[in-house]
Structure 1
Amino acid sequence: MPQEPRVPFPNIDPIAFAIGPFAVRWYALGYLFGTGLGACYGYLMLANTRLWHKGEPPFKAADIWDFAFWTMLSIVVGGRVGYVLFYNLPFYLENPTQMLNTLDGGMSYHGGMLGLMLAAILFTRSKHGNWLSALDLIASVSTIGIFLVRIANFINAELYGAPTALPWGVIFPTDPEQVPRHPSQLYEAALEGLLLFLVIRVFTHVFYSLRRPGLVAGVFGIGYGLSRIAVEFVRLPDAQIGYLFGGWLTMGMVLSLPLVLGGIGLVAFATTRKQNALRA
């Protein structure tokens, strides 16, 4: 039997603050600050032209603030569309008016990422920049938002893991069984957010990998995909889907595998192009 948790759940109100009837949740702030801090970090990277291939970033540093607006919009729209398509399509086909109701918290990271990639490509092409370098940019900064949103998931006591006997098991107030569970949100914050940020920082500022357009985006795809697949082994699947094929496979694993394969392809492409060779 699982033992009592040694790490108590911090009973933080999911609502950060309220002004009259208007309530602002930590989850929304995670997206907002993730975009804002990511834009600030992106500005510094874009301004440091020596990081980029031929000294040319995908667009000017001052354009990052316009891009941040499209980033926020694309993440929200892509995340919602992804959730509807990947996680609960039968329900939304029967209740189409609920597709726009984001109060149920239904957001898909993979859908948000696809929306962000599309926005980056279109925005960069409008600036006549290298869209592969734009993907490298969002790969470098998106880990900040991932970290903050996963912390917000923990505060919301959602997306928790399977029961565990490990000493850091947590009893979440929203869990009907009230048993110690893996804090899988924190695992993802640590792996997909903090650790991946540090790994990519080494590639961008030590190995100067931004001089090979597509390489950093490939590293992100591999790192995020493998991290997400690993955590999915202890994270509970969405109730409406469960485990696929009656086994251990989850939708998160299925959607993450193309990221790993695409990342490997980008790394191979970026490292074999002669015109992308590192400059002294």
Structure 2
Amino acid sequence: MILTAAAQAASYIHFKDLGLDPVALDLGFFQLKWYSLAYIGGILIGWWYLLKLLDQPGAPMARRHADDMVFYATLGIILGGRLGYAIFYQPQLFLEPLKLLQLWEGGMSFHGGMIGVMLAILWLCRRNGLSWLRVHDYVACAVPFGLFFGRLANFVNGELWGRPTDVPWGIVFERTGVALPRHPSQLYEAGLEGLLLFAVLAFMFWKTDARYQPGKLVGTFILGYGLSRYFVEFFREHDVQFDGTIFATPGLHMGQLLTVPMILGGLYLIATAKKRRERVEPIAGGPSVA
């Protein structure tokens, strides 16, 4: 299959012909990259959507709490994402502190960022006497925006490409050094982790009583992300630093192994959500809801 795909590479889309540039704005002395805009856009749009959710009856926190949380969550995303990347993918970065701080060079872990955001939420809830699990439910509904924009930015950067393929929509990423069409796995992830997961959570929030069952929405989020990521990793090339290791084996990619606790945790939260249902006393957003 690979030999056939290589021979027919000229008939496939070549990434260089798409005219995509990782730099959105170049002023000479300053460059603004699409990857940075993805983070900014995901946080701002997610904040806006979170406020819409909090307008509904039985909200677990007020706007002032959401405003504070944006600051803490942003720190959690950046610090947790970078530290998570170093821990799970590039431990040698701890021996080069200056490189560890070079966020503009790329290298962020979703799992690390998720842990950072969870710690930020726990800190906010403890300080303000809020229900940490219900706050997680609401925040989870807003996270797919960031995942969607982040994966699109990965595609624009021409990074995290997929495995060689002969499917008609394969793309030749010249940065790989081999003229083979590959799965645009970044777009697969944008569709599953971003669009599909957002649609599922939006339906559950607006059309069901899921938000009155603490843990059900966040459980659905981490289960949905875990399953999506595990599936897409079969089409995604393993990270180059894992060449020659067990983590280069499909089914055992680092990204897949890190999703296993998410899948199990999501199933647990969903299965036990009804037991946690109780009269919801709102912090904002209208009257009590039984």
Instruction: Please say whether Structure 1 and Structure 2 have the same fold, judged by a TM-score greater than 0.5.
Output: yes
Q: Deviations over 1:118-172 (max 9, x none)?
A: 1112112222111001111121000000000100000000001000100000012
Q: Is the 8 A contact 2:247 2:254 kept in 1?
A: no
- For 2:63, give the aligned amino acid: A
Is residue 262 of structure 2 the alignment partner of residue 259 of structure 1? yes
Within-5 A mapping of 1:38-49? 38-48=46-56
Is residue 37 of structure 2 the alignment partner of residue 34 of structure 1? no
CA distance in 1, matches of 2:279, 2:184: 42
Q: 1:6, CA displacement in angstroms?
A: 4.3
For 1:269, the equivalent position in structure 2 comes to 272
Q: 1:274, CA displacement in angstroms?
A: 5.1
Unaligned 5+ segments in structure 1 are none
For 1:119, the equivalent position in structure 2 comes to 120
Identity of paired residues, percent?
41
Q: Is the 8 A contact 1:161 1:183 kept in 2?
A: yes
Q: 1:101, CA displacement in angstroms?
A: 1.8
TM-score (norm 2): 0.89
CA distance in 2, matches of 1:257, 1:29: 30
Q: Is the 8 A contact 2:76 2:116 kept in 1?
A: yes
Q: Give the aligned CA root-mean-square deviation in angstroms.
A: 1.9
- Mean CA deviation greater in 179-188 or 96-105: 96-105
Q: Deviations over 1:80-134 (max 9, x none)?
A: 0000100011x22443332212232111011001101111121122221110011
CA distance in 2, matches of 1:63, 1:267: 26
CA distance in 1, matches of 2:247, 2:42: 35
Q: Is the 8 A contact 2:201 2:217 kept in 1?
A: yes
Alignment length (residue pairs) = 273
For 1:22, the equivalent position in structure 2 comes to 30
For 2:253, the equivalent position in structure 1 comes to 250
Is residue 83 of structure 2 the alignment partner of residue 81 of structure 1? yes
Unaligned 5+ segments in structure 2 are 281-288
For 2:184, the equivalent position in structure 1 comes to 183
Q: Is the 8 A contact 1:43 1:62 kept in 2?
A: no
CA distance in 1, matches of 2:73, 2:277: 32
For 2:286, the equivalent position in structure 1 comes to none
Q: 1:22, CA displacement in angstroms?
A: 1.1
Q: 1:241, CA displacement in angstroms?
A: 1.8
- Mean CA deviation greater in 167-176 or 217-226: 167-176
Q: Is the 8 A contact 1:7 1:167 kept in 2?
A: no
Q: 1:7, CA displacement in angstroms?
A: 4.2
TM-score (norm 1): 0.92
Q: Is the 8 A contact 1:80 1:102 kept in 2?
A: yes
- Mean CA deviation greater in 233-242 or 72-81: 233-242
CA distance in 1, matches of 2:279, 2:26: 51
Q: 1:42, CA displacement in angstroms?
A: 0.2
Q: Is the 8 A contact 2:233 2:255 kept in 1?
A: yes
